[in-house]
Amino acid sequence: MSPSLASLLPLIILAGAMPFLLVILCFVRSHGLTFYVTLLALAASLAALATVTPLGAPKVGILFVFDGLFFFYGGLLLAGSLAVVVLSHEYLSGRPGDVEEYYVLLLGAMLGALVLVASRHFASFFLGLELLSISLYPLIAYRRSAPHHTEAGLKYLILSGVASAFLLFGMALIYGVTGTMDFASIGARLMGLVSGRPMVLAGTVFITVGIGFKIGLVPFHMWAPDVYEGSPAPVAAFIATISKGSMIGLLLRYFSHVSLSGHPGLFAIFAIMAIGSMFAGNLLALFQNSIKRLLAYSSIAHFGYLLVAFLSAGPFKVFAITYYLVAYVATTLGAFGVVTLLSGKEHDADGMDAYEGMGRRSPWLGGMLAFMLLSLAGMPLTAGFIAKFYVVAAGIGSALWALVAVLIVNSAIGLFYYLRVIAVLYRSPFAEAPPCPSCGIKARVVMIVLLALVVWWGIYPSHLVTLIQATRIAQ
């Protein structure tokens, strides 16, 4: 096998699995078979990533780079997608309608996410982004039973389209000034740039709009609560973790070449987005009566925290962001996992009343959700605690006092709504609520693994720290 082919293997496996599944579906429609093929494809891709990719060439063509960042983020996202697929299987079992195409779309979205974290060129960046987005539109609207599912899909489609247009325009502006679409060359040419700075700034801002939309940063966050609420719970989990995580990977790579410090205006824009995301996310979450909307706003706030680390300089920067993302992905998957497992055939478990007294009716699921919320709040014994510690450390190490102060105030605000949900979980139910649906063994394993990881990384993070510290971004 040629070195470049070896590097590409994780992408090739996913890309091959999609048509393979479609061909199978022409002959056999079986939910179980589709599920296992998808699971196998993702697992094979993860295995290839871990074993074959490090042996291959780090740079393939002009589009891709398979460096430490790809290795770590790709692994994280693939592992996360395994959990999403298992949860999806649990969620889709017994639902009416055809469910098999769901998995094909999921593979497509995952392929897009992998392309994003591997890309080092505007072309592959856009390719990955669109692959991810286009797969997500139908996934969000996959259940067409109620109007708000379709509404969520349409909303995401239109807003995402606008964001892509901005992104393309930004890329065009940067290309117009530098004459290249390769990240490293852009960074090198911008260094010695004398004229055309406003155009570069405008271009970078437009690119930031596109990225900010995908991550859900204020002021491009409007879609998040509606889309989370309207999409099936596992798809919401996918958007919250894998879609956003891949954009963070791309953000890190792009801005490792293009220096932020050269543009004070850009720094200010990111700082405003961080502060806005923290405040808007936390304040709006205070008034939510739907768990999914609440998690959406909380996720907006969390990426605001993450931006604080992003704006810092020095040794902690990439490390703090990556640790935070790992903790966030594991925790959010756990929280959405509970939502998925509690969802009935007709509706997702969304309103607070569905969770009334959950901690008593079903101690494991209720306790799990409470634990994950505490991790999001950054309490000890959870990965979220260490993650928040590192983000604050990154901010203080770079003397970003104002941003750290905002972060601290917002952590206190955020505590309120997490505690409110926990109080609901342990309140006595008003009426005799139906017993919790029992979940299958696969979903149980996934949930226990997530719980174990969040506890492990919260108590003894040393291994993960070593792993992340070894992550390098190729220059």
Partner 1 sequence: MMLIYILFLPVAAGVVALLSERVSRRLPGWIAFLGSAIDFGLVTYLWAGGKAGDPSSGGWISQFQAPWIPQAGITFHLAADSISLLLLALTTFLGAMASLASFTEIRERRGFFYLCLTWTIAGIIGVFLALDLFLFYFAWEFMLVPMFLLILLWGHEDRFRAGVKFFIFTQLGGLLMLAAILGLYFTHGRVSGAYTFDYQALLGTAMGPRAATLILCGFLAAFLVKLPAVPFHTWLPDAHTQAPTGGSVILAGLLLKTGAYGVLRFAVPLFPLLMQRFSTVLEILALVGILYGAFLAFAQEDMKRLIAYTSVSHMGFVLLGLLSGSSIAFQGAMVQILSHGLSTGALFVLVGALQERLQTRDLSRMGGLWSVAPRLGGAAMVFALAALGLPGMGNFVGEFLVVLGTYGSNPVVAVIAAFGFVLSTLYSLRMMARAFFGENREGWKIPDLSMREAAIMVLMVVPLLWLGLYPRTFTDLATRPAVSPSEGASGQIVQPPSEPPEGAGGEE
Question: Contact region for partner 1 (CB under 8 A) — 11-19, 213-221, 249-257, 372-380?
Answer: 372-380
Q: Which residue has the tokens 């496996």?
A: 13
- Tokens at 221, concatenated: 């966050």
The residue type found at 84 is V
At residue 119, the 3 state secondary structure works out as strand
Residues 328-367: x/- map of binding to partner 1 (CB under 8 A)?
A: ----------------------------------------
What residues numbered 441-470 form the site for partner 1, per CB under 8 A?
460-462, 465-466, 469
CA atoms lying within 13 Å on the CB side of residue 384: 23
Distances (CA, A) of 85 to 110, 146, 187, 466: 11, 23, 38, 29
- Which residues 6+ apart lie within 8 Å of 240 measured at CB? 228, 295, 296, 299, 332, 336
- Is 380 among the residues that bind partner 1 (CB under 8 A)? yes
* Span from 100-108, 121-129, 327-335, 385-393 in contact with partner 1 (CB under 8 A): 385-393
Strand partners, 65: 59
Q: Which residues contact 263 (CB under 8 A, 6 or more apart)?
A: 200, 201, 204
CB of 366: closest distance to partner 1 in angstroms? 12
| 232 is a site residue for partner 1 (CB under 8 A) | no
Residue 139: CB partners within 8 Å, gap ≥ 6? 102, 105, 106, 109, 231, 232, 235, 238
Interface with partner 1, residue 381, by CB under 8 A: yes
Neighbour tally for 20: CB within 10 Å: 15
What's the gap between Cα 407 and its chain centre? Answer: 20
Minimum gap (Å) between residue 264 Cβ and partner 1: 23
Determine the residue type at 329.
V
C-beta neighbour count of 352 within 10 angstroms? 16
Radius of gyration of the chain (CA): 21
Residue burial 264-280, b: 16+ Cβ < 10 Å; e: rest: eebeebbbebbbbbbbb
CB of 191 or CB of 412, closer to partner 1? 412
Q: How far apart are CA 91 and CA 237, in angstroms?
A: 12
- Cβ contact 85:16 at 8 Å: no
Residue choice 158, 219, 416, 470 for contact with partner 1 (CB under 8 A): 416
Q: Which stretch binds partner 1 (CB under 8 A): 33-41, 209-217, 330-338, 415-423?
A: 415-423
Asked if 57 is part of the footprint of partner 1 (rule: CB under 8 A), the reply reads: no
Q: Does the N-terminal peptide bond of residue 461 adopt cis geometry, omega within 30 degrees of 0?
A: no
The Cα 68–Cα 117 span in angstroms is 11
412 binds partner 1 (CB under 8 A): yes
Candidate list 374, 376, 403, 451; residue touching partner 1; CB under 8 A: 374
Nearer to partner 1, 307 or 404 (CB): 404
State the DSSP code for 61: T
Q: Which is nearer to partner 1, 68 or 397 (CB)?
A: 397
Annotate each residue in 175-214 with x if it binds partner 1 (CB under 8 A) or - if it does not, as one string.
----------------------------------------
Task: Please choose, out of 2-10, 181-189, 281-289, 386-394, the segment that lies near partner 1 by the rule CB under 8 A.
Answer: 386-394
Task: Say whether residue 426 binds partner 1 (CB under 8 A).
Answer: yes
Count of residues that bind partner 1 according to CB under 8 A: 28
Position 404 contacts partner 1 (CB under 8 A): yes
CB nearer to partner 1: pick between 438 and 462: 462
Of residues 215 and 306, the one with the C-beta less far from partner 1: 306
Residue with Cβ nearer partner 1 (48 or 387)? 387
Q: Which is nearer to partner 1, 195 or 466 (CB)?
A: 466
Contact with partner 1 (CB under 8 A) among 5, 22, 423, 452:
423
Does 409 bind partner 1 (CB under 8 A)? Our answer is: yes
Give the shortest CB-360-to-partner 1 separation in angstroms: 8
User: Which of 320, 285, 245 shows the shortest CA–CA distance to 83?
Assistant: 245
Helix boundaries (H) for 312-362? 316-342, 358-361
User: By C-beta, is 187 or 395 nearer to partner 1?
Assistant: 395
- Per CB under 8 A, residues contacting partner 1 are 374, 379-381, 385, 389, 392-393, 396-397, 404, 408-409, 411-412, 415-416, 419-420, 422-423, 426, 460-462, 465-466, 469
